Amino acid sequence: MRLLQLRRGRTMAAEDDDMSKRIILITGANKGIGFETARQLAREGHTVIVAARDAAKAEAAVAQMAREGLGAEAVALDVTDAASIARAAEQVGARHGKLDTLINNAGVVQEGWGTTTSQTTLEQWRGTFEANVFGLVAVTQAFLPLVRKSEAGRIVNVSSILGSLTLHADPSSPIYDMKSVAYDTSKAAVNQYTIHLAHELRDTSVKVNAAHPGGSRPTSAASRPRWRSRTAPRPACGWPPCPRTARPAASSTCATGCPGKS
């Protein structure tokens, strides 16, 4: 598994030359990085499925793309609801028969700005892991049979450099003081899950990667002070702070990343 840096110029699904036009589902795609990723992939002619917890918000995102001349499909998918996940997988299977790329983008941050490790509540821990880890695993398990039907299946788990144990333990690291324990631990778990699933599927046509998208402007006003503070440094792997979601999202899984930064 490589914790992959997302770069401008190519999309997350366009990793290999054998990937021309693909069927791609993105969770949490009604806003932020997920929505911008959907826009960029649709521009390249891929069949994009915008998945969101709220069906109306998924439809609104698709309508916005349509106004830009971009085609996409909407599906209701709550990563914390087993029945919702099953329905979405059934719908995609019935319509397309396979899924070429699954982008696990949906995620949450439960801790408020300034919350310390000891102040993080069990409710915040559970809420974070329910969406960021258990939800990601549940979605992957539900859609993996469809991904296996692709000639070159891809699973991209949107992770974060904040899941790096090495960087969090290094006083010289730019993220050393960026501690949101529940969120950071959830991304470390995502990285470990990615490694294990990639190992399981190593002899198949399915590749599994984790992607670090860089900084992005938050959609909620409440989190903007936190965003300004946390995206100011330039991390060791060289990714620049990205003031807009378009920059990290208009990008690809690529071979370069943070060697040795696990």
Report the catalytic residues: 183, 187
3-class DSSP state of 221: helix
* Structure-token pair, residue 22: 């693909």
Amino acid at 168: H
Q: Are 61 and 30 in contact (CB under 8 A)?
A: yes
Q: Quick one: CA torsion of 25, 160, 192, 107, rounded to 10 degrees? A: -50
3-class DSSP state of 219: coil
**Structural Rg of the chain based on CA atoms:** 17
Q: Where do the DSSP E strands lie in the chain?
A: 3-5, 23-26, 47-52, 73-76, 101-104, 154-158, 207-212
3-class DSSP state of 170: coil
* Structure-token pair, residue 6: 């997302």
DSSP string for residues in 108-161 = ---SPTT--TTT--HHHHHHHHIIIIIHHHHHHHHHHHHHHTSTT-EEEEE--G
